[in-house]
Structure 1
Amino acid sequence: MSSFLTDVMPLEPSWWAIAARIALTVVAGGLIGLDRERGGHSAGFRTTILVALAACLAMIQANLLLSVYGKTPGFFSQMDVLRFPLGVLTGVGFIGGGAILRRGDMMTGVTTAATLWFMTIVGLCFGGGQIVIGTVATVVAFIVLSPMKRLDTWLRCERKATLVVYGSRSDIPDLSNVLAPLQCSAVFVAWGPTEDDRIGATYELRWLAKDPDASARAILAAVSEAQEIAHFAMHSTTG
C-alpha cells in the first residue's frame, strides 16, 4: 500500500492517467459544490469545480515538468516545479478572503472559504496522482458538510444578541428576574439614543439553546411583558 501511494506520480504520466485525474477532480468538485449550491452559498457548484480543477491542472503541469527537472543548464533553464501548486494555494487564499464578510458581530463565509481551500488540496492530490488520498478526502469533506451539519439542530450552542429597551438614565432596567427562567444572562453596556430619538439601555445577551430562532422569540416575549423593546439583533456566524 505504501509503495502504491508513493509510485502514483510517474515522471511521464500517460494521457489516460491525466484524463482520469481531471475527471475525478471534476466529480469531487461537483459533489462538494452541489451541496454548497443547495445551501445557497456564494461559492457553489461551478466555483468549487473550477477551484479544484485549477489546482489539479497546476499539479499535472508540475508532474509533467518532473521529467525535465534537474537537468543541466545546457539543456534548459532550471525551474522549481512546486511553484505551480504553491501559487494556486496563494491565489485561493485571496478568493477565500473575499468570501468572508464581517458586519459588526456577524461573520459569514467562513465555511465557504475553508471549503475552497480544502478543495484546492483535493485538486492537488488528484493532479499529483494520489487518487486514494483525494477520494478519501472528498468523502470526508462531504460527510462534514452535509450529514454532520444536522448536528446544529440538536447541539445546545451559545447564542448572543444585542437588546435595547427604553428607559431613563436615572434607573437601569433590571432584566435578571425576567431572563433567569430562560437561562439567559444580560450585561448592561451603555445608555444611548434610539432610532426614534428616545433614550435606550443596551444589553448584551448570552444563552444556550438548540434552536436560536425559537429561543430568541421566547426571550423577546418575556422581556416585552416587563419592558418596552427598542431593538433586538442576533449575533451569528454562518458559512
Structure 2
Amino acid sequence: MPSFLTEAMPLTPSWWEIAVRILLTVIAGGLIGLDRERGGHAAGFRTTILVALAACLAMIQANLLLSTYGKTFSYFTQMDVLRFPLGILTGVGFIGGGAILRRGDMMTGVTTAATMWFMTVVGLCFGGGQILTGMAATLVAFIVLSPMKQLDMWLRSEQKATLVIHSSEADLPDLSQVLGPLGCVARFVSFGQTSEGRPGVTFELRWMAKDQDASARAIFSALSEAYHVAGFSMQSTST
C-alpha cells in the first residue's frame, strides 16, 4: 500500500500529493453530487464538488503553512493555521441554512444541507492527506444517500394531512367510521369558513403508510363519498 494513503499530514507535501488530494476530492464530490443531481435537489453535481473542493483547498493551504508558523522562544503567541479550514465548516453552515426552507408544516432541504456539511468534512480529510478516511467516508455517504434511500421508502412512516369539510358547529361529524378501517385517526382543529364562504370544520389526519400518495388517495376517496370535502392537503417533509 502506498505510504501517502496511511501517512499522517506531512509538513511539506509534494505537488503530486496535492494533485492527488484535489483529484480525489473532485471524484468524491462528483459521486455524491451526481446522486443529488438525479434527485432534482438544489445542491447538485457542481455545488457539491465546489463545497468539497473549497474545504480541501483550505486544508491544503493550512498544511503548507504548518512548516512556516510556530512558536519560538522570542514569541509569546503562535498562529493556529488549522483554524482556517475549520472556519470553512462555519461558512458551509450558513449555506446549509439557506438550503433549508419551511413553508407551514412542510420543510425541505434538510438532507441537502447535511450532505453539504458532510462533504465539507470529506474535503478536509482529503486536503489533510487522510486519503483512506476520505474514501471510506465517501463510500458510506453514497450508501446512505442511494441504496439506503430505498429502505427509507420501504419503511412505514407517519403521514399527516389537513382536512376541511362543510359542517356547522352544531353538527361535528364523527369520522371514525370512515377512517377507522383505513388506519387513520382524525383530530378536531377548529371551526371556520371554507374557501366557498360556507361553515366548515378542520381536522388533522394521521396514519401510517409506505406509499404516501396511494394512501392519501384512498383516504380522500373514502371521505369524499361520505362528506362534502372542501379541502385536503398533505403535511409532508421533503429532503
Q: Structure 1 length normalisation: TM-score? A: 0.95
Q: Aligned residue for 1:177?
A: 177
What amino acid sits opposite 1:216 in the alignment?
A
1:156, 1:93 → 2: CA distance? 31
Q: Aligned residue for 1:29?
A: 29
- State the Cα deviation string for residues 158-202 of structure 1 (Å, max 9, x = none): 101111111111111110000000000000010011111111110
2:127, 2:138 → 1: CA distance? 14
Aligned-partner SS, 2:121? helix
Q: Aligned residue for 1:220?
A: 220
Q: Aligned residue for 1:90?
A: 90
Q: Aligned residue for 1:60?
A: 60
- State the Cα deviation string for residues 62-104 of structure 1 (Å, max 9, x = none): 11111122143879x8421122112100100000000000000
Structure 1 runs not aligned, ≥5 long: none
Say whether the 8 Å CA contact 1:11–1:67 is kept in structure 2: yes
Say whether the 8 Å CA contact 1:152–1:210 is kept in structure 2: no
- State the Cα deviation string for residues 130-153 of structure 1 (Å, max 9, x = none): 000000000010011011111133
Q: Aligned residue for 1:189?
A: 189
1:63, 1:200 → 2: CA distance? 66
What amino acid sits opposite 1:201 in the alignment?
V
1:200, 1:49 → 2: CA distance? 51
Q: Aligned residue for 2:139?
A: 139
2:212, 2:152 → 1: CA distance? 10
What amino acid sits opposite 2:154 in the alignment?
W
Q: Aligned residue for 2:207?
A: 207
Q: Aligned residue for 2:150?
A: 150
2:151, 2:138 → 1: CA distance? 20
1:89, 1:34 → 2: CA distance? 22
- State the Cα deviation string for residues 96-125 of structure 1 (Å, max 9, x = none): 000000000000000000000000000000
Deviates more, 1:125-134 or 1:145-154: 145-154
The 3 A distance-change label for structure 1 pair 4 and 30 is closer
Q: Structure 2 length normalisation: TM-score? A: 0.95
2:51, 2:113 → 1: CA distance? 11
Deviates more, 1:85-94 or 1:191-200: 191-200
Structure 2 runs not aligned, ≥5 long: none
Structure 1 position 56, deviation (Å): 0.2
Say whether the 8 Å CA contact 1:106–1:235 is kept in structure 2: yes
Structure 1 position 222, deviation (Å): 0.6
Q: Aligned residue for 2:110?
A: 110
> Are positions 1:163 and 2:163 aligned together?
yes
Q: Aligned residue for 1:11?
A: 11
Deviates more, 1:191-200 or 1:46-55: 191-200
2:27, 2:98 → 1: CA distance? 25
Say whether the 8 Å CA contact 1:183–1:207 is kept in structure 2: yes
> How many positions carry a matched residue from both structures?
237
What amino acid sits opposite 1:50 in the alignment?
L
Aligned-partner SS, 1:23? helix
Aligned-partner SS, 1:169? coil
Structure 1 position 57, deviation (Å): 0.3
| Cα RMSD for the two superposed structures | 1.8
Aligned-partner SS, 2:41? coil
Aligned-partner SS, 2:174? coil
Where in structure 2 are the equivalents of 1:28-47 lying within 5 Å? Answer: 28-47=28-47
